[in-house]
Structure 1
Amino acid sequence: MLSSNPNKVSLTALPPLALYIHFPWCEKKCPYCDFNSHQIKEGMNKAGFDEARYIKALIADLETELPNIWGRQVHSIFIGGGTPSLLSAEGMDQLLCAIRARVNLEPDAEITMEANPGSVEAEKLAGFAKAGINRVSLGIQSFQDEQLKALGRIHNGAEAKRAIEIAMQHFKSVNLDLMYGLPKQSLEAAKADVEMALSFKTPHLSFYNLTLEPNTYFANFPPQLPSDDEVDAIFEQNVDLLLKAGYKRYEVSAYAQKNQECKHNLNYWRFGDYIGIGAGAHGKVSYPDRITRQVRERHPDAYMQAMESKGNALIESKVIEPKDLPFEFMLNTLRLTDGVATNTFSERTGLPLSVISQSLAQACDKKLLDENPSQLKATPLGMRYLNNLQELFLD
């Protein structure tokens, strides 16, 4: 039974489980990127990184997590970065074979790999598909050469289009990442990018606003970005284009054709569990009486050395305090345009709904939260001011 004690977690069932794998290298660090990515070293070898050593570390890292997930099935895998498409097809096959041998992977699990259009080759993508990758997410960002150059991307518009065509030949699901609010971007240029993306009819699109993140080149040397009003106009225009083309906005930045949502990311947003392996990877694993988070060594060299010398690369492993769970839950679930069923709160946090009753009332009074008692769902106003809504659930 669910405990009525707001200071004690009691889960009646464990949530779905996913696996995230971080690949920390890229050919060139983009000036806006705040992800854990490291430019490959020229002259080290053809790849610029030690693939065999890193894969060995990943497999050993996964093995450290096995006692925490005995008997649980893994429903999806996401290989992010960095630029995972820098891996060889043979290396990818070795990694996925090792994973299948160690975890109970759902037979039709969604297995996603991020790819840079500048590192896409037809033969290599065919090899990835043969290894078991069935979904690819392409970092297009824009189709316009001037914008791509301003963003520090290594590909041009023609290469972006070619990469999409190749990917669609080999994978049943392809996502395109697009950015808006780019340096000096006009309403017309933003529209052209979305219309070009729609012409390929990929089942999924991600649509992100360029933001200046701390500790990035753009934060120190900011480009000339459109005004807030101009960015809002671009957003409204392009969302309208996506909706008219048959894409549903199911999360703040995600749009999909019917039944083509990203299963892995939905698991995050529904406060599911995930193992995180690789340099800088984060994980969340639930137990009947607690929910934990883990963080790995961030730098790839430190990560591999830790796995080799200690057999473990954790730099943090902690139990999430019950008082912090409501905010963590709402931080994720309120990003979904349909929200989640109200009983999901107790199912995923192990806490009674009464612990957030005051915050729920405030959110409804401010017209930020839908008043339907069976659903935790932001109103259109709540989606527009999502940070304000989420902050109501802070301790």
Structure 2
Amino acid sequence: MPVGKSNWQMTSLPPLSLYVHIPWCLKKCPYCDFNSHEKRGDLAEDAYIDSLILDLESALPLIWGRRVITIFFGGGTPSLLSAKGLDRILEAFRARLRIHTDAEITLEANPGTFEIQKFKDYRAAGITRLSIGIQSFNQRHLKALGRVHDSEEAKRAVNIAAETFDTFNLDLMYGLPNQTLAEAMEDIETALSFSPKHLSCYHLTLEPNTLFYRYPPELPDDDLTADMQESIENRLAAAGFEHYETSAFAQKGHRCQHNLNYWSFGDYLGIGAGAHGKLSFHDKILRQIRHKQPTAYMENVANSSQILEEHAVELTDLPFEFMMNTLRLTEGFPVELFAQHTGLPINRVGKALQNAESEGLITRNHEMITPTLKGQRFLNQLLHHFLPA
């Protein structure tokens, strides 16, 4: 039955984040399935910023009075924006939103867009954290991935980030075409040489609607990528990183608060072309998607019709959606969080939890539910228990 057509209700609302999508890239990577579009000619920066502000204004009644705890500029390549443009966006946000005093504000950046003064200006505008799409420091692998930067530009970008920001993340991928274990670990060692506070290490996957999916490259086999994953986890643990989510590693005190809100089944308003959002109310939970094409998005914002899809989450889907996020956390989640963020009692998933525990996929007590190492490795098997009957 649809949420909102029953006696179901939320007794409290989850924390709220803001996601801002910047849809342009210098070049579309062959493995990327995100909503990104190659930049052709001059960036329509001013017009797009106007649309973002209008989009936010139209959404304000949905989040009225709620405090925003984090802001994340994703893409695409948000670092294509000028520092002046980013400052204008953040000023507009501050004038219209209750933003937490210590809000984490993250900007995704690609090495091909790094300029020292520009990134100093980003920090002055209010950005507190950079997330840099390195993927690899190996020139052969960068070429295979279709990246626009080379290994020297990657290193230069990280140096600039280290000089400019207290906290920055490096995105790295493993399981790359013809990659060896030694090469995967060399990328990790190079990353560690810059003393980052956060690393995201992803297994390359072939996603539908990508060039790699249509024309698959030769990838390492499952045994080799499993060795890469285990070696990466062991090396980062030895370097003092907490492995707190499937692909995320952080020095103490530097976990990504924005992503933690996602993984805790928190709320997020998504604005910008193709942005997704999840918003809770006392009588329903809404999911929204904006129009994906930048031009179509801007035209529809002008007509107050930027939302392409909107639906209330079905009660039967809530347990799976909650677990799909929270079971990515290696430490698991407090039992009480399930009721707080879904409005459902934990006994709603009692049988599923019992079955998952009997298979050695989770451990639990009256306070915490935690995926085991087996549960982390076979997450899809674990999540299967929570699918609607």
Q: Which range, TM-score by smaller chain?
A: over 0.9
Quick one: distance in 1 between partners of 2:173 and 2:5?
A: 41
Establish whether residue 365 from structure 1 lines up as the match of residue 358 from structure 2: yes
Task: Quote how far apart the aligned CAs of 1:312 are.
Answer: 2.8
Residue equivalent to 1:11: 10
Quick one: distance in 2 between partners of 1:169 and 1:109?
A: 21
Quick one: distance in 1 between partners of 2:60 and 2:126?
A: 21
Amino acid at match of 1:198: L
Q: 1:387 aligns with which of 373, 376, 380?
A: 380
1:122-173 deviations in whole A, cap 9, x for unaligned?
A: 0110111111111000000000111100000011111111101101111121
Task: Check the 8 A contact 1:178/1:208 in 2, yes or no.
Answer: yes
- Matched-pair identity in %: 53
Establish whether residue 330 from structure 1 lines up as the match of residue 313 from structure 2: no
Quick one: distance in 2 between partners of 1:165 and 1:8?
A: 55
Quick one: distance in 1 between partners of 2:216 and 2:226?
A: 20
Q: 1:262 aligns with which of 252, 256, 277?
A: 256
Task: Quote how far apart the aligned CAs of 1:319 are.
Answer: 0.9
Quick one: distance in 2 between partners of 1:199 and 1:276?
A: 35
Equivalent pairs counted in the alignment come to 385
Correspondences of 1:1-395 after superposition (within 5 Å) = 8-41=7-40, 44-45=41-42, 49-308=43-302, 310-395=303-388
Amino acid at match of 1:126: K
Quick one: distance in 2 between partners of 1:38 and 1:118?
A: 16
Task: Quote how far apart the aligned CAs of 1:8 are.
Answer: 4.2
Task: Check the 8 A contact 1:33/1:213 in 2, yes or no.
Answer: yes
Quick one: distance in 2 between partners of 1:311 and 1:288?
A: 25
Amino acid at match of 2:132: L
Task: Check the 8 A contact 1:22/1:80 in 2, yes or no.
Answer: yes
Query: TM-score with structure 2 length normalisation?
Result: 0.97
CA RMSD, Structure 1 to Structure 2 (Å): 1.2
Query: TM-score with structure 1 length normalisation?
Result: 0.96
Amino acid at match of 2:49: I
- Partner of 1:168, secondary structure, is helix
Quick one: distance in 2 between partners of 1:336 and 1:343?
A: 16
Task: Quote how far apart the aligned CAs of 1:7 are.
Answer: 5.7
Amino acid at match of 2:65: G
Amino acid at match of 1:119: T
Task: Check the 8 A contact 1:6/1:352 in 2, yes or no.
Answer: no
Quick one: distance in 2 between partners of 1:67 and 1:26?
A: 32
- Partner of 1:327, secondary structure, is helix
Distance 1:145 1:194, change over 3 A: same
- Partner of 2:279, secondary structure, is strand
Task: Check the 8 A contact 1:16/1:267 in 2, yes or no.
Answer: yes
Gaps of at least 5 residues in structure 2 are: none
- Partner of 1:197, secondary structure, is helix
Task: Check the 8 A contact 1:7/1:322 in 2, yes or no.
Answer: no
Quick one: distance in 1 between partners of 2:283 and 2:382?
A: 28
- Partner of 2:141, secondary structure, is helix
Amino acid at match of 1:297: H
Amino acid at match of 2:353: L
Quick one: distance in 1 between partners of 2:345 and 2:228?
A: 41
Task: Quote how far apart the aligned CAs of 1:6 are.
Answer: 12
